[in-house]
Amino acid sequence: MASLPGSASNISNAEIAKSGVFTQHKTRDMDLDKLTAVAAQLGLSGAELREWIEREQVRQRDERAAEREEAKEAAERQQLADERQLQILQLKLKLQESA
């Protein structure tokens, strides 16, 4: 990656984790004030600060969207399983009634 040392595009998640900045917070779902404070502790300012915050917000939105999608898929799987179980019970009932 061609960028200046310490620039927003040159800071990896590993470097952020090593910095100890997140010992009190998780990066996930940080509000703008917390993101700004973290970026300031990383020495970011101006355009670098804005770019880093924007990237973090996009990452957080993507994580939340993925979590919502997974929850939706899990609910659909559960609904299918419930429907199959209901069919099995209905068939068992019919068998008992016909016996």
Q: How far, in Å, CA of 60 to CA of 58, rounded?
A: 5
pLDDT at 92: 96
Structure tokens at 75: 């609910």
pLDDT tens for residues 52-83? 889 999 999 999 999 999 999 999 999 999 99
C-beta neighbour count of 50 within 10 angstroms: 14
CB 52 within 8 Å of CB 11: yes
3-class SS at 28? Answer: coil
CB 23 within 8 Å of CB 34: no
From residue 79, alpha-carbon distances to 4, 19, 38, 72, 85 in Å are 52, 45, 42, 11, 10
pTM of the model: 0.56
pLDDT at 35: 84
Q: How far, in Å, CA of 87 to CA of 14, rounded?
A: 51
Indicate whether 19 pLDDT > 80: no
